[in-house]
Amino acid sequence: MTLRDDAKRVRENAYAPYSNFKVGAALETPSGTVFVGVNVENVAYPEGTCAEAGAIAAMIAAGETKFSKAYVIADAPSPVPPCGGCRQKLAEFAAEGATVTMATLEGTEKTVTIPELLPGAFDQGHMDRT
């Protein structure tokens, strides 16, 4: 099974009653473990939480802290990029050289590196005053 397969499969479980815009994500860690996530909407927060954040939370809950590949898929006319908050989360938990592939159900894909996804990402170095 590929990351695309995992993300596409889990996408069907997204809870999107307000937007009906389902997103699935799959992260692969350097150890080869795969974690998945979906977007989840609710009445108080109809824009919901993002699929990437869900996959990262599952990864952290399992005791891993880095991913090497991410795959995000949605039913859209072109590959949908992660929101700003998820870009920061992806940057924070990415292993060196990690990539993010954004895809449509029809098969269009765009793969980028973390610096391409979030140039100038905020990191620990911004807080060091030594």
Cα angle 12, 92, 37; round to 5: 10
Catalytic pick among 12, 28, 47, 52: 52
The 3-state DSSP class for residue 87 equals helix
50 is annotated as contributing to ligand binding: yes
41 is annotated as contributing to ligand binding: yes
Please tell me the distance from the alpha carbon of residue 7 to that of residue 3, in angstroms, as a whole number.
6
47 is annotated as contributing to ligand binding: no
- Given a contact cutoff of 8 angstroms between Cβ atoms, the answer to whether 80 and 110 are in contact is no
10 is annotated as contributing to ligand binding: no
39 is annotated as contributing to ligand binding: yes
Query: Would you call 52 a catalytic residue per the annotation?
Result: yes
What residues does 100 pair with on adjacent strands? 70, 112
36 is annotated as contributing to ligand binding: no
Q: DSSP character for 115?
A: H
Please tell me the distance from the alpha carbon of residue 33 to that of residue 68, in angstroms, as a whole number.
10
100 is annotated as contributing to ligand binding: no
Active-site residues, by number, are: 52
Known binding-site residues for Zn(2+) equal: 50, 83, 86
Known binding-site residues equal: 39-45, 50, 83, 86
